[in-house]
């Protein structure tokens, strides 16, 4: 962004219904321009003479300017003036979240764990509860925090960390207002609308029999993808040998088609929910159940050809193999398969390779996934998931390297607010992206477990943000519509999902809408980047769109051009 933005999303009411947001975009906020400094102070506003902040080139995009903050001293903050006429009190009235982009430079150290703070005037409106990872250096991250209200009449806000020194950039600050009484009959207020805009699947697990009641409407108005919670599993689709039943799945597919929704398939091969004719001792089979390896391979192949064949062209993604990894992994460089599985016990590891090959033959257009639970963070927290995440990576990479038609991995994400560590999960998406595999969230539910509804909303927003910002992440799916319809025990207490039992929207839902919406706005306005490492000459040739050459020869000149599109060194660049 050329200047710091303070975007206030105001809400107008009439007759109880919500009108469209009125966004106030302050492009030249505070009259701040390249080379200008903002004050760095303690929380009372006392300046720090050893610290600085300057509006200068974004280290990743030399046509963007961002505030570069350097602090030396504990708890120092960059001070940002509020727009004219606004005070801490009026700025936080009816607005309950702040979002901004944040970049730690290499000079700040590869990693940093400390608290982040937001003040309005002298009121602390946000603080990390304890020291947390502030993300990897050298990458822009988008932060969204729930804020409390400030009642003071000071006209500045302050952002900063508890670390004794810091070197970071901040940009695109927004204070966001949300109306919790949303109108889901207005498509422009739904998550589906904005998920469509950014080109991502927002999915939900459902059961057959959805009507045009509140639940059915909640599903089709708010999501653009469904997955069967149980109806496409082995026990439902092949209850007795070679006798297939598609009744439940077909009902869900018909519902989805009538509402122009995508369907993802779950799951072709799993140790659990297999019929008793396959495994008389169910999920934890550690006997051969009387099958030879060849017999069970034939059963699996026949099942996959029939089920994936039946849904060919209707299901766009399949979980081909579900939960094949052991809960305890030996190290970070290998993987261990679950032993209690009839497939692994009788066939061995090749059941995985074969299942993917057969699924691809049965439906060459479907994307094929390896899905598992207790996976997500590449490092950090929760520690018990880190080893299994690496195992998933190692197995998926092995399959891909062996030429098996695998498109990606599914992170089930049955989790809780406290266990979602966003930078650690983001890293996992990066790692899969680096080896050409997709990574999606397939069964998200996030128990509150003592955390507030707003903390849950922030974590949901963070998950959606990871999906938005990764090209290898087409989908995010929640495992149920509302807190009364969830497989989680005591779900009405743990409140893991996006809607209340009466299908009113939770903060988590609204933050999902807002996150997709913010990203859709960002995509529309996306500057066409000219990376500095691609062309770091300071001499530029600039034309306007009329083909007239402009009197402009340095990047600094370009940054001072009026808003608009230009051709800079042969590339289209949006100056904002
Ligand atoms: C669950 C369903 O939600 C329940 O209704 C059913 O009784 C058991 O299975 N991982 C998976 C899902 O891959 O298929 C599981 O679904 C939840 C855990």
pLDDT along the chain (576 residues), means of 10: 36 26 38 83 93 90 86 92 87 82 93 94 94 92 88 94 93 71 74 93 97 91 97 98 98 97 98 93 73 97 98 98 97 96 96 98 98 97 97 98 98 98 96 98 97 95 95 97 97 97 91 90 58 54 80 76 73 65
User: In the prediction, which pLDDT does 16 show?
Assistant: 27
pLDDT on residue 554: 78
Bridge partners, residue 58, by sequence? 61
List, in sequence order, every beta strand (DSSP E) within 207-364. 225-228, 262-270, 317-322
Residues marked as catalytic: 323, 443
Distance CA 242, CA 255 (A): 27
Residue 576: per-residue pLDDT: 54
Please tell me the residue having the least CA distance from ligand 1 atom 12. Answer: 229
The β-bridge relationship of strands 571-575 and 438-447 is unpaired
User: Ligand 1 centroid to 230 CA: how many Å?
Assistant: 7
- For residue 273, the CA-to-ligand 1 centroid distance in Å is 9
Strand 113-114, strand 262-270: pairing:
unpaired
The atom of ligand 1 lying closest to the CA of 371 is 13
Sign of CA dihedral 81, 86, 92, 94: negative
Smallest CA separation from ligand 1 atom 5, residue: 487
Buried b (16+ CB within 10 A) or exposed e, 387-401: bbbbbbbbbbbbbbe
How far, in Å, from the CA of 350 to the mean position of ligand 1? 25
Bridge partners (DSSP) listed for residue 175: 8, 98
The helix or strand, by DSSP H or E, that contains position 61, with its residue range, turns out to be strand 61-72
pLDDT reported for residue 475:
98
**Cis geometry, peptide bond prior to residue 526 (ω within 30 degrees of 0):** no
Ligand 1 pocket mutation pick from 227, 228, 229 by most atoms within 8 angstroms of CB? 229
Place of tokens 């009788």: 346
pLDDT, tens digit, for every residue of 164-192?
899 999 988 888 765 555 677 777 789 99
pLDDT of residue 24: 34
Supply the pLDDT for residue 530: 42
Global pTM value: 0.74
Task: Give the residue, out of 274, 318, 443, with the most ligand 1 atoms within 8 A of its beta carbon, to mutate for a pocket test.
Answer: 443
Q: How far is the CA of 467 from the centre of ligand 1 (A)?
A: 23
Among 417, 384, 431, CA closest to 494: 417
pLDDT in the model for residue 1 = 44
Ligand 1 contacts (CB < 6 A) are 229-230, 322, 373, 412, 443, 487
Tokens 């929704």 -> residue: 261
**Predicted local confidence at residue 92, as pLDDT:** 86
- Please give the backbone phi and psi of residue 137, each rounded to the nearest 5 degrees, phi first: -70, 150
Distance between CA atoms of 185 and 519, rounded to whole angstroms? Answer: 22
Q: Distance, CA 233 to ligand 1 centroid (Å)?
A: 10
Distance (angstroms) between ligand 1 centre and the Cα of 157 equals 46
Ligand 1 atom index nearest CA of 322: 13
Instruction: Locate 180 and state its tokens.
Output: 């919790």
- Decide: 568 and 556 in contact? Cβ < 8 Å: no
Which protein residue has the closest C-alpha to ligand 1 atom 7? 487
What are residue 44's DSSP bridge partners?
Answer: none
Q: Distance between CA 161 and CA 169 in Å, rounded?
A: 12
Q: Which atom of ligand 1 is nearest to the CA of 480?
A: 3
* Burial 541-574, CB ≥16 within 10 A → b, else e: ebeeeeeeebebeebeebbebeeeebbbbeeebb
What is the predicted pLDDT for the residue at 34? Answer: 80
pLDDT of 411: 98
Residue of 410, 479, 482, 486 to test ligand 1 pocket, by largest number of atoms within 8 Å of CB: 479
Residue 126: name the closest of 168, 159, 86, 152 by CA.
Answer: 159
Atom of ligand 1 nearest to the CA of 487: 3
Residue identifier of the C-alpha nearest atom 3 of ligand 1: 487
Distance of CA 309 to CAs 87, 126, 179, 198, 515, Å?
62, 52, 45, 30, 36
What is the distance between the alpha carbons of residues 303 and 309, in angstroms, rounded to a whole number?
Answer: 9
Atom of ligand 1 nearest to the CA of 205: 3
Residue with tokens 């030429």: 403
């Amino acid at each position: 962004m050329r200047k710091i933005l303070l975007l206030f999303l105001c809400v107008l009411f009439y007759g109880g219904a919500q009108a469209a947001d009125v966004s106030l975009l302050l492009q030249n906020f505070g009259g701040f321009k390249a080379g200008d400094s903002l004050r760095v102070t303690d929380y009372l506003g006392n300046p720090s003479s050893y610290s600085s902040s300057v509006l200068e080139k974004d280290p990743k995009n030399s046509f963007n300017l961002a505030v570069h903050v350097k602090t030396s001293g504990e708890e120092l903050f960059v001070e940002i003036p509020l727009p004219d006429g606004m005070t801490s009190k009026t700025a936080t009235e009816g607005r309950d979240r702040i979002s901004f982009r944040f970049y730690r430079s290499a000079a700040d150290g590869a990693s940093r764990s400390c608290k982040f703070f937001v003040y309005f005037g002298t009121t602390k409106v946000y603080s990390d509860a304890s020291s947390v990872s502030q993300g990897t250096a050298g990458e822009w991250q988008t932060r969204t925090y729930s804020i409390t209200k400030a009642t003071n009449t000071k006209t500045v806000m302050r952002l900063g960390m508890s670390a004794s020194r810091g070197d970071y950039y901040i940009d695109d600050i927004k204070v966001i207002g949300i109306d919790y009484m949303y109108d889901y009959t207005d498509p422009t207020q739904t998550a589906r609308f904005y998920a469509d805009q950014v080109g991502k699947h927002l999915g939900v697990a459902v059961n057959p029999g959805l009507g045009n009641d509140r639940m059915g409407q909640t599903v089709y108005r708010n999501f653009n993808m469904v997955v069967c919670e149980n109806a496409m599993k082995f026990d439902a689709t092949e209850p007795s040998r070679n006798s297939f039943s598609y009744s439940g799945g077909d009902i869900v597919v018909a519902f989805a088609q009538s509402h122009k929704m995508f369907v993802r398939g779950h799951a072709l091969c799993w140790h659990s929910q297999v019929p008793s004719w396959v495994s008389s001792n169910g999920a934890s089979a550690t006997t051969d159940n009387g099958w030879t390896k060849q017999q069970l391979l034939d059963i699996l192949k026949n099942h996959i050809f029939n089920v994936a064949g039946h849904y060919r062209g209707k299901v766009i993604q399949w979980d081909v193999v579900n939960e094949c990894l052991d809960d305890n992994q030996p190290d970070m460089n290998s993987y261990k398969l679950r032993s209690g599985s009839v497939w692994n016990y009788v066939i061995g590891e090749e059941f995985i390779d074969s299942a993917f090959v057969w699924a691809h033959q049965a439906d060459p257009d479907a994307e094929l996934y390896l899905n598992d639970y207790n996976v997500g963070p590449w490092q950090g927290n929760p520690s018990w998931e880190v080893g299994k995440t690496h195992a998933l990576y190692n197995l998926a990479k092995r399959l891909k390297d062996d030429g098996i038609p695998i498109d990606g991995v599914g992170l089930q994400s049955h989790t809780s607010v406290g266990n979602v560590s966003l930078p650690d999960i983001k890293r996992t998406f990066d790692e899969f992206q680096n080896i050409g595999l997709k990574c999606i969230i397939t069964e998200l539910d996030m128990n509150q477990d003592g955390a507030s509804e707003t903390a849950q909303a922030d974590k949901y927003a963070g998950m959606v943000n990871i999906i938005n910002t990764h090209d290898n992440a087409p989908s995010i799916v929640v495992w149920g519509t509302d807190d009364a319809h969830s497989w989680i025990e005591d779900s009405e207490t743990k409140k893991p999902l996006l809607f209340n039992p009466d299908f009113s929207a939770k903060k988590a839902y609204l933050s999902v809408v807002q996150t997709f919406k913010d990203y859709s706005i960002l995509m529309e306005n996306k500057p066409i980047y000219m990376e500095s490492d691609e062309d770091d000459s300071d001499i530029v040739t600039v034309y306007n769109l009329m083909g007239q050459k402009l009197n402009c020869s340095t990047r600094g000149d370009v940054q001072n051009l009026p808003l608009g599109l230009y051709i800079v060194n042969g590339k289209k660049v949006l100056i904002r």
